[in-house]
Structure 1
Amino acid sequence: MTDRPRPRSLRRRLIVQLLLFQAGILIVLGTAFVTYLVRASESGYLLDPKFTEVVSRAVLRDPGGSLRLQETDELVELRKDVPDLWFIARSDAGEIVEAGEIPDVYRQLAQHLDRITFADIRDTVEPFSLLAIVRRVTGPAGDFVIIGKGGRLSTTYALVILANLLVIPILVLLAIITAIVIPVIVGRSFSRLALVAQEARTIDVVKRGYRLPESDVPSEIMPMVEAINGALQRLDDGYERQRRFILDAAHELRTPIAILQTRLAAMPSDPFRTRLQNDAARIAGLAEQLLDMQRIDREQTHFHPLDLVALCRTVVADLAPLAIATGYELSLDEPSRAVMVIGDAGALERVVANLVQNAIEHSGGQGKIDVIVDASGTVEVADDGPGIPAAERENVFAPFHRLHPRDHGAGLGLSLAREIAHRHGGQISIVDQPRGGACFRLMLRLAVRETTVA
């Protein structure tokens, strides 16, 4: 047998797709920013900030205190990158150092640099390219103002600036927000499905007629919910047809069984007639059990406080002749006061009667059968028979289960008894007892006594 493939998680798929969408948006935005920086660099919108830094470190003072230009390695490298490099450096005292082919208009402007600390000089026509800059800097020679034309901002350097100042912070922020928000949004979107799944887990044979809620279900999931509800309806219809068939069959069996019992009673008394009467009684009991199962399934049981001791007295009195005739001693051990429980008297009588009849049927035709009522709302039916192995104690509650191949089977008695007990909020189990036989324990809810405060 091959392993069933693991179902794919719709939630995980949605989260991954949303994250991929976010990544695509970031790629598009990043491409747009890079394109802008490249075009800005090519058109001269941006100027390399290294230009003023290199010049500030190249302007020094000689031993006499005059400004001079030192051909530093940085300046030599800058000249290679920018062949048309030019600049003028003017100190606060009016000292000037210059380099490159300086346009006349800027040479005249240099005389007034003491009045300017920052400026961008652009062309008068589009794309308004940056022609020169004015910056006030501080270097080894002190404070001075530089006017000049350096290199355009390189694409690589622009990308570094963009990554450090814009892209990386945005990526980190969006990643954090996405990792937190998207799972929350997807989880809330699937919350209704979780409620539907929780409702589905509560559906069983007892809650027939119940359907999955269709309100507030996403339209994509609605066809599946409707299909499940349709399947539940078909199952209910099939179960109802089967229930009706069993009920009708059990009713139809009652008449021929009654006729058979009447004819057997008219026969001469002998061991053969007794065996036939026992067989007919067993068939009649099975038919009644089928009817009881259908009544329990169909009718709404009415619960009210009742005396468990009185109920067990009635059952023991009714079954005492059968037990004695079969070879058993039937006794009732009861507390000195009433034990009030919540339940339906007729249904609980069938439970105790089924337990006693089971002991009569399977205890070997001799010994003692004790019905023990406890003040805690517990009834035990113990016998001196061979007992039930621990491995079979759950199986005997299955309909028509045979503990041994030659047994007649338990019919529906124990299955019916457990079903009635469950509907009363109780339970039936098989426990050990010192004398070794079978011991069935019925546990019921005690009635809450009402007290009046004067």
Structure 2
Amino acid sequence: MKARQPSLKRPLIIQPLILQFVTVFLCCAIIIGLAIRMDSGGPYADERITKVIAGAIARGPGGGLTVTATPELATLRAEAPDLWFVAQDDAGRSVAFGDVPAQYRSVAARLTDFAHAAIRDPTPPYRLAAVIRRETSPAGPLTILGHGRVSKLTFVVFMASNVVVIPIFLLMASISLIVTPWIVRRSLAGVARVAAEAERIDTNQRSLRLNEQHVPREIGPLVRAVNDALARLDEGYARQQRFIASAAHELRTPIAILRAKVEAADDPATRRLASDVARLGNVAEQLLDLQRLDGGSLDERFDLAGLARHAVADLAPLLIASSRTIQLIVEGEPTVRGDAGAIERVIVNLVQNAIDHGGRNAIVRVTPDGFEVEDDGPGIPPDERERVFEPFHRLRPRSTGTGLGLHLVQQVVERHRGKVAILGAPDGGTLVRVELPPA
């Protein structure tokens, strides 16, 4: 089972997000803990009672203040049986409810001098814990001093802290979830660009190099290493091409001399070596063709139908002399951009391959998308139709071919950014279809 490749999402996105969340959570917990640990001096009177009290105070017939029994006040009295309060308007009129402690009587007479206060006593039962608040009531603005429910500071601080901290935590978490992946993707955009550049590098675009300008500094060494490796591969490929060219050129002269001596020999056994010498010469020429693939220009525009007519015209006398036929069918007049000489050699190789493998009749058909070469030979089995493009692969072990012809065809077509495929002909032979992009 193939192991999964490690992803950069975990170290660059997931782990930093987890660290940020843990850090924010701990900071919030520390802030809340510090607030709770503050010495409050005792519990507080619940300041929310003043709103209930204000809602229960109205004006009497003479303009004085009166307390009305509202449902909210009844509920508050049930929750705090020791409820007491004093309310005073801006004119100095006041109303009291419950048993107001003596300590507050002097304060109750001058409530309008205060607006906000929290008073607490240090020991239970905390009956002196009270609040002063300015409220708006049916009787108008009032200042209220009251005692009711008593709340511990811990709960108050905890709730108040959460009201502030939780939204901050959620806001920071949301920003981290959105911004962090965006920053990482933006930082690694250069890597995707380099990957796209790498996909364009092939045997026909070997001189391309990856651009280091847009990748992060940490990935720069990897890009430089890849560029250095590409340079070494180019150098090795160039040496190989020079060796093939030199070897093929060096072989041509002794092969030509050998051919002449074999043809001029009086011994019949020696003359029978002519086919083997011709095969050697064909191998040398095809090796040169492979070497010339890199040298031809791909900027020439030419008429594919006219090129096919020229190739068929050159082949026809040789085929007729060997009791074979060739036919040209033009179904389209495509214009192609590339190396006309290389494409003509493709047509010649395909026709010679068709004749050499048992076909007696060949058809060259020019289509709007390229051309086809069809023969009436025994055909190629479907499981061999891809392998015959491999160099030096022969369909039959004793075949007279070199095994380079179809490989050369494939190399030329792919260099022109086209496609070549072997299919079965309608009459049982072989059909080789070549598709070329239009100019």
TM over 0.5: yes
Quote the residue 2:115 is aligned against: 118
CA distance in 2, matches of 1:354, 1:250: 18
Q: Secondary structure at the match of 1:203?
A: coil
Cα deviations by residue, 1:352-372 (Å, 9 ceiling, x for unpaired): 1111211221116xx3233x3
CA RMSD of aligned residues (A): 4.0
1:166 Cα deviation after fit:
1.5
CA distance in 2, matches of 1:110, 1:336: 112
Q: Secondary structure at the match of 1:219?
A: coil
Q: Identity of aligned pairs, percent?
A: 42
Preserved contact between residue 14 and residue 186 of structure 1 (Cα < 8 Å)? yes
Quote the residue 2:79 is aligned against: 74
Preserved contact between residue 55 and residue 75 of structure 1 (Cα < 8 Å)? no
Preserved contact between residue 58 and residue 72 of structure 1 (Cα < 8 Å)? no
Distance 1:45 1:231, change over 3 A: farther
Cα deviations by residue, 1:32-73 (Å, 9 ceiling, x for unpaired): 5324532556257975436657988999xxxxx999999955
Quote the residue 2:62 is aligned against: none
CA distance in 2, matches of 1:337, 1:198: 36
Quote the residue 2:342 is aligned against: 347
Distance 1:338 1:66, change over 3 A: closer
Match of 1:196 among 194, 197, 219: 194
Cα deviations by residue, 1:188-237 (Å, 9 ceiling, x for unpaired): 11111111111112211221122111002211111111122222222222
Match of 2:385 among 369, 393, 396: 393
Cα deviations by residue, 1:308-329 (Å, 9 ceiling, x for unpaired): 455444434443454345x442
CA distance in 2, matches of 1:51, 1:411: 101
Q: Secondary structure at the match of 1:9?
A: coil
1:379 Cα deviation after fit:
3.6
Q: Secondary structure at the match of 1:439?
A: strand
Distance 1:187 1:146, change over 3 A: same
Taking the TM superposition and a 5 Å limit, the aligned residue runs for 1:89-168 are 89-90=86-87, 94-97=94-97, 99=99, 102-103=102-103, 106-113=104-111, 115-116=112-113, 118-120=115-117, 133-135=131-133, 146-147=144-145, 151=150, 153-163=152-162, 165-168=163-166
1:284 Cα deviation after fit:
0.5
Tell me if 1:330 matches 2:325.
yes
CA distance in 1, matches of 2:312, 2:298: 24
Quote the residue 2:209 is aligned against: 211
Distance 1:284 1:226, change over 3 A: same
Q: Secondary structure at the match of 1:363?
A: coil
CA distance in 2, matches of 1:302, 1:16: 49
Match of 2:430 among 428, 438, 450: 438
Match of 1:254 among 232, 252, 255: 252
Preserved contact between residue 41 and residue 153 of structure 1 (Cα < 8 Å)? no
Match of 1:42 among 15, 40, 43: 40
Distance 1:188 1:43, change over 3 A: farther
Match of 1:290 among 282, 287, 290: 287
Quote the residue 1:240 is aligned against: 238
Match of 1:172 among 158, 166, 170: 170
CA distance in 1, matches of 2:30, 2:351: 88
CA distance in 1, matches of 2:22, 2:151: 31
Quote the residue 1:14 is aligned against: 12
Distance 1:20 1:438, change over 3 A: closer
TM-score normalised to structure 2 length: 0.79
Distance 1:135 1:230, change over 3 A: same
1:306 Cα deviation after fit:
3.6
Counterpart code for 2:131: I
CA distance in 1, matches of 2:9, 2:409: 46
Preserved contact between residue 54 and residue 75 of structure 1 (Cα < 8 Å)? no
1:16 Cα deviation after fit:
1.9
Tell me if 1:368 matches 2:357.
no
Preserved contact between residue 89 and residue 97 of structure 1 (Cα < 8 Å)? yes
Counterpart code for 2:361: K
Tell me if 1:229 matches 2:241.
no
Quote the residue 1:31 is aligned against: 29
Range with bigger deviation, 418-427 or 208-217: 418-427
Preserved contact between residue 44 and residue 152 of structure 1 (Cα < 8 Å)? no
Distance 1:95 1:153, change over 3 A: same
Give unmatched runs, 5+ long, in structure 1. Answer: 60-64, 80-85, 124-129, 448-454
1:246 Cα deviation after fit:
1.9
1:290 Cα deviation after fit:
0.5
Q: Secondary structure at the match of 1:42?
A: coil
Give unmatched runs, 5+ long, in structure 2. Answer: 58-65, 121-127
Range with bigger deviation, 253-262 or 380-389: 380-389
Aligned residues: 417
CA distance in 1, matches of 2:145, 2:433: 105
CA distance in 2, matches of 1:336, 1:192: 47
Q: Secondary structure at the match of 2:361?
A: strand
CA distance in 2, matches of 1:338, 1:6: 51
Counterpart code for 1:353: V
1:415 Cα deviation after fit:
1.4
CA distance in 2, matches of 1:51, 1:40: 24
Range with bigger deviation, 224-233 or 284-293: 224-233
